[in-house]
Structure 1
Amino acid sequence: MKKESNQQELCLIFSRYPEPGLTKTRLIPSLGGKGAAELQRWMTEKVVAEAGRLAAGRPGLCLELAISGGDERQLAAWLGSQLRCREQVGNDLGARLAFAFDQAFDRGFQRVVVVGGDCPELTSDILSQAFDRLRHKEMVLGPAADGGYYLMGLRRAVPQLFQGITWGSGQVLRQTLRAAAQVDMEAFLLPRLADVDRPADLDLLPTSWRSRLP
């Protein structure tokens, strides 16, 4: 699907279809396969809602989902047919991110923000700040409490940012900042937030969510 001619910004949410046993696998020992999938579903819906709130008041913003797993029917039943979905392409997270940014800029977007679907603390205000900063900065990062990042924003494709990164480790943010410095890029850092990947992260969830988990 082509972007609208007046759309210069893209918010791309990276997520996985919430199929039990295949998503949030590090949480399965604590929540079981069904519970981990249900949490994935809630978190993605929360991020989609926050991004949708921003898009509703920002006419030049396009909102899409980069998804792993699920078919067209399943995705439409989950999130509705109006949300544009694209399949993630690549053998690891770095390759998938690099492909997503490259494709977005090839489509003509000028400011692209990719955000993870597992950060329940993310708000529309933080997303707005990311896009606003990209008007003057080449790169925006949202540091995650586990040493990674929950958001990256760019104004051009920079494949070097995704090379030599130990994905899934606590070194991702530090290694990414080093890669940025090597290509003379300086990142603006957004507020530090927590994403939910490990059992210890479950305490960071809203009380109403925790009470519904197994």
Structure 2
Amino acid sequence: MWGGRDLDKVAERRLLVFGRLPEPRYVKTRLSPRLTPGACAALYEAFLDDAMRLAPRGANVELWVPVRPRAVERLEARYPAARVRLQPEGSLGDRLAMAFACAFREGTGRAVAIGSDHPTLPAEFVARAFRALTTRELVLGPTRDGGYYAIGLRRAVWPAAERLFADAPWSEAALCDWTRASAAELGLAPAELPTWYDVDRPEDLSRMEGDLLEGSATARAWARLGLARGAAPDQEGDL
């Protein structure tokens, strides 16, 4: 990770976490009405905490977030060992392209981007992504719904690999297949991680509960909010 606030030290590996400022009625809104807006924000904050801990030892961590009032200041205070950067306007492809471009321009050799909607993602999957990039130019972590939870690139294939983000069918079931086909056109054969899942809707919470790691931020938040085993959320728990 970035050493303290020494943000000028660039490691060979960089984890790019895409997230949001945890605010009620701004994050995880599709988990309503199972969860109150405050519970959605509290649970998502835990998702983000867990995502920020997925980097292998020695890798830098960046958190990329949309523009919100005091977003950088608040998140830098919560994650003092990471760099917080604001996402540009445009599609998710534009935002991913910016993050990878910055990483490679600043000297990073291997970069992996992940989301913050998969709180049970094993850290070993992220470590495997970086290991794969020692010999492969592209790595993908597919999701059950046809998207991907991780994409990693080596600096040697940039900027040609920017095509992987241009005009991609974001939020569609064809995204991962589209990315594989676009990679083939570039002569890239992706290494693939195990398939995993996002937690976006109330029906995803039951699976998440079964996979929670003891001691994780999400497990603690789940217990604190009184949500275990289908219990009704605490309507006063707008943390």
Residues of 2 paired with 1:201 and 1:165: CA distance? Answer: 25
Q: Is the 8 A contact 2:148 2:176 kept in 1?
A: yes
CA contact 2:72–2:85 (8 Å) conserved in 1: no
Match of 1:35 in 2: 39
Contact 2:19/2:48, CA 8 A, preserved across alignment: yes
Q: Which residue of 1 aligns with 2:9?
A: 4
Output one character per residue of 1:10-38: Cα deviation in whole Å (capped at 9) or x when no partner.
Answer: 11111111111111232234323222222
Structure-1 separation of matches of 2:130 and 2:176: 20
Give TM-score scaled by structure 1 length.
Answer: 0.87
More helix by share: 1
Asked whether the 8 Å contact 2:30–2:200 carries over to 1, the reply is yes
Aligned to 1:18: 22
TM-score, normalised relative to structure 2: 0.79
CA contact (8 A) 2:30 2:202 kept: yes
Indicate if the aligned counterparts of 2:133 and 2:153 stay in contact, CA closer than 8 A: yes
Number of aligned residue pairs: give it.
Answer: 206
- Output the CA distance in 2 between the equivalents of 1:188 and 1:80: 30
Secondary structure of 1:46's partner? helix
| Native 8 Å contact 1:138 1:155 kept in 2 | yes
**1:104-115 to 2 correspondence within 5 Å?**
104-115=103-114
Q: d(CA) in 1 for partners of 2:7 and 2:47?
A: 27
Identity of matched residues, % = 35
Structure 1 residues 3 and 191: CA distance shift in structure 2, 3 A: farther
Q: How does 1:72-91 map to 2 (within 5 A)?
A: 72-77=72-77, 79-91=78-90
Provide the aligned C-alpha RMSD in A: 1.9
Q: How does 1:1-214 map to 2 (within 5 A)?
A: 3-4=8-9, 7-51=11-55, 54-55=56-57, 59=58, 61-68=59-66, 69=68, 70-77=70-77, 79-156=78-155, 157=158, 158-206=161-209, 208=219, 210=222, 212=225, 213=227, 214=233
Answer yes or no: is the 8 Å Cα contact 1:21–1:28 preserved in 2.
no
Q: CA deviation at 1:116?
A: 0.8
Q: What's the CA shift for 1:82?
A: 2.6
Structure 2 unaligned spans of 5+ = 1-5, 211-218, 228-232, 234-239
Aligned-pair distance for 1:119?
1.1
1:179 counterpart SS class: helix
| Counterpart Cα distance in 2 of 1:41 and 1:131 | 25
* Alpha-carbon shift at residue 200 of structure 1 (Å): 2.2
Counterpart amino acid of 2:122? T
Matched position secondary structure for 2:22: coil
For structure 1, the residue ranges without an aligned partner over 5 or more in a row are none
- Say which structure is richer in strand: 1
8 A Cα contact 1:3 1:107, kept in partner: no
Q: Whole-Å Cα distance in 2 between the matches of residues 173 and 3 of structure 1?
A: 34
